[in-house]
Amino acid sequence: MSGELLVRDLAVVLVKAVVVAYIFQRLRHPIIIGYIIAGIVVGPYTHLIYLSQPKVFGSFAELGVILLLFGIGLTFLARRLMEFGRVSLVVASTEINLMISFSVVTGVLLG
């Protein structure tokens, strides 16, 4: 029985995503914004759509984010990444050092 509910829930989520993506494509807006809005509508906090197994869909959402980031990574050319390599290295190093410093100072102040 739970397998049938999972398939039904998955179908509901996919249909909502396709409908919202189509609407956003017709409005000439980024489809990713539509997917985010569809995720909010289907999510557990709006109570607009009831999902029988919301914890399973949390795992699906994490997998979707991984695939999305993978797809974004595929669109970058290696040549283009090399151009931003030095800047990215400096920015990332600075951020890491600032966060470590902030954490040490906060830890000392809090004892």
Q: What is the pLDDT along the chain (111 residues), one digit of tens a residue?
A: 467 777 877 787 788 778 888 888 899 888 878 877 877 777 667 766 666 666 777 777 787 788 778 877 777 777 777 777 778 888 889 999 999 999 999 999 998
Based on the domain organization, do 71 and 86 belong to the same domain?
no
Distance (Å, whole) CA 19 – CA 108: 52
Based on the domain organization, do 67 and 82 belong to the same domain?
no
Based on the domain organization, do 8 and 57 belong to the same domain?
yes
Whole-model pTM? 0.51
HSE value, Cβ hemisphere, 13 Å, CA-based, for 13: 23
The dihedrals phi and psi of 83, each to the nearest 5 degrees, come to -65, -40
Based on the domain organization, do 22 and 46 belong to the same domain?
yes
Distance (Å, whole) CA 82 – CA 77: 9
Radius of gyration of the chain (CA): 20
Domain count for the chain, please give it. Answer: 2
Based on the domain organization, do 88 and 48 belong to the same domain?
no
Based on the domain organization, do 81 and 70 belong to the same domain?
no
> Domain span at residue 25?
1-75
Based on the domain organization, do 62 and 88 belong to the same domain?
no
